[in-house]
Amino acid sequence: MVSVTFLGTGGAFSAGRRTNLALLLESRGFRMLVETGPMIIEQLNRAGLHSSDIDLLFVTHPHGDHVLGFPMLALNRLQAAQPLHVYAGLQTIASLRILTALAFSSLSPDRLDLRWHSLSEEGPDQIDLPVGVRLRTAVPHHPPDAPTLAARWDFESGPSVTFITDTRPSDVSIELARGSDLLIHEASFSAVLEPDARPADHYHSTAQQAGDIARQAGCPRLALVHLGPEIGRHPDVLIEEAQAGTDLEVIVPEDGQQLSVEGAA
């Protein structure tokens, strides 16, 4: 069984009810943080964790709502027993290095004990993580200045979880998510609540499009995240929009909510 904690469920402009998007994936002997937005220290504290409890980190892309908390995460791990292994694309890694150097210019990089693992920003990639977990990545549609990775974790115990954010719909996303037990997909916009919006222009998706991707990929469960500040107040509307009259299980998690994921029998 895999536990997914939604540390934050909002987008770049979220405030109040929803903080910036961040996830925690855990299974026996495995814990990985996903994204390090500006409030990551507080988000971890609310989950009963300290920065030093995090040894594995995945970051999708270098936009501020996904990376600005990284220097503080690294600083607060100075007494950690283990290094922090960071998995990201090269441009994202470069941004994380620059942010840390700007924030703490007098602090030697050696003291932070960071281990960088670069993933392709050109196409599919994969890497084996500890205790039988395989991380697979793909590159969906993304803004020209911010190569963005979608990610899938396949656990040796059976479950699979796919995470896709800051992108408009594409076949790349469908193929990566195919057969996942849980698809976590962004819904920065709502086709119902914002019928005149043009999410593709901003490299984002609607709840309706996220539901379409889940069905095409054969995913039985969909969690909608990276919600805009207005649409995030209407989870029932987003659920109905994504379901589109089908039996797809759709969740609009609140900050701090946990889901358990089990592999198909």
Tens-digit pLDDT profile for the chain (265 aa)?
999 999 999 999 876 789 999 999 999 999 999 999 999 999 999 999 999 999 999 999 999 999 999 999 999 999 999 999 999 999 999 999 999 999 998 887 788 999 999 999 999 999 999 899 999 999 998 878 889 999 999 999 899 999 999 999 999 999 999 999 999 999 999 999 988 888 788 889 999 999 999 999 999 999 999 998 899 999 999 999 999 999 999 999 999 999 999 987 5
Q: Which of 158, 159, 212, 156 is nearest to 185 (CA)?
A: 212
Report the C-alpha gap between 214 and 224 in whole angstroms.
11
Which among 181, 159, 171 is positioned nearest to 212, based on CA atoms?
A: 171
**pTM for this one?**
0.96
> Is 265 a member of any domain?
no
- pLDDT at position 231: 92
Domain annotation covers residue 211 = yes
Q: Is 207 exposed, middle or buried (0-12, 13-18, 19+ CB in 10 A)?
A: buried
DSSP 19: P
The CATH number given to whatever domain includes residue 56 is: 3.60.15.10
Domains: count for the chain: 1
The token pair that represents 218 in the structure block: 């054969």
What's residue 164's pLDDT?
98
The residue among 226, 257, 252 whose CA lies nearest residue 239 is 252
Domain contains 136: yes
pLDDT given at position 137: 98
Give the separation between CA 79 and CA 122, rounded to whole angstroms. 36
Interior/surface letters 137-170, b for 16+ CB within 10 angstroms, e for the rest: bbbbebeeebbbbbbbbbbeeebbbbbbbbbbbb
Q: Is the separation of the CB atoms in 95 and 62 below 8 Å?
A: yes
Q: Is 264 inside a domain boundary? A: no
Q: Residue 265: what pLDDT?
A: 54
Measure the CA–CA gap between 202 and 205, rounded to whole angstroms.
9
- Give the Cα separation of 149 and 87 in Å (integer): 10
Containing structural domain, residue 228: 2-259
